[in-house]
Homo-oligomer: A and B are copies of this chain.
Amino acid sequence: MTQAPAKRTFFALGRVENYTDAVFAIAATLLVLDLTTTAFGKISSDAELWHQLGAMWPSFMAFGVSSVLLGGLWVSHISQFRDIARADIVLLWLNNARLLFIVLIPFTTSLVSEYSDYYAGRVLLPVNFFFAMALGIATWFWAASKDGHLLKDEAKPDAPSQTVGSVTALIAGGVTVALSPWLGSWAFLTFAVSGPISGVLQKRRKATPSA
């Protein structure tokens, strides 16, 4: 790897990470725009105001759920990029596509809080989350391909374990989508089950390094 062609092909991660963090931060903050008092109408007593705030509980729930989802997607992004050493043009566009689905989360969240009585209202947030995860996994497979050509050297031995974790998470995301017509956002609890399973699988992988 001579230096000159490297400069032409690869990108330092600094700006990719900055841009990503800013997109996540804005998406997380836009969620609050759904919490609005415009539908309150005229308030003329304390009881009415508490009642109206209480009637907003589906919005608060949706805000909480989406905040946790965005938090999880961000944690998985920084975990992944901890192992990545450099970007190429493919990784840049995979990351851009992933961020497109991050940006959509405030929209699909607003569907949940307004239309959770209908299939589309319940299903589209899990679908959105699934695509964001799928693009995260595509990013990982690309970085780990060709002998881990975009990975840090010290991350390469651990790459198969990351792959197991990614695939388990994606399956959990698919199960969430499948359950969401019945369970709505409760379907995300699938991840409370998949996390420990993934942990066990990753440990078994490490215990059998020759696998």
Chain A residues with CB under 8 Å of chain B are 3-4, 7-8, 11-12, 14-19, 21-33, 35-37, 43, 45-46, 49-50, 53, 64, 67-68, 71, 74-75, 78-79, 81-82, 89, 92-93, 96, 99-100, 103-104, 106-107, 110-111, 114-115, 118-121, 154-155, 158
Identical chains in the assembly: 4
CB distance from A107 to the nearest CB of B (A): 4
Q: Which of B46, B68, B93, B114 contacts A120 (CB 8 A)?
A: B46
Q: Of the candidates B35, B49, B110, B120, which one forms a contact with A118 in the assembled complex, judged by CB atoms under 8 Å apart?
A: B49
Q: Which of B74, B103, B114 contacts A19 (CB 8 A)?
A: B74
Closest 9 CB pairs of A and B: A22-B25, A71-B96, A26-B29, A18-B21, A35-B107, A19-B21, A23-B25, A49-B120, A49-B118
Contact B120 A50 (CB under 8 A): yes
Name the prevailing secondary structure of the A interface residues: helix
28 A/B residue pairs, CB under 8 Å, sorted by A: A7-B155, A11-B79, A11-B82, A14-B17, A15-B21, A18-B22, A19-B25, A22-B26, A23-B29, A26-B26, A28-B99, A30-B33, A35-B104, A35-B107, A37-B111, A37-B114, A45-B118, A46-B120, A49-B115, A49-B120, A50-B119, A50-B120, A67-B96, A67-B100, A67-B103, A71-B96, A75-B89, A75-B96
A110 is contacted by which of B24, B37, B68 (Cβ under 8 Å)? Answer: B37
How many angstroms from the CA of A25 to the CA of B30 in the assembled complex? Answer: 12
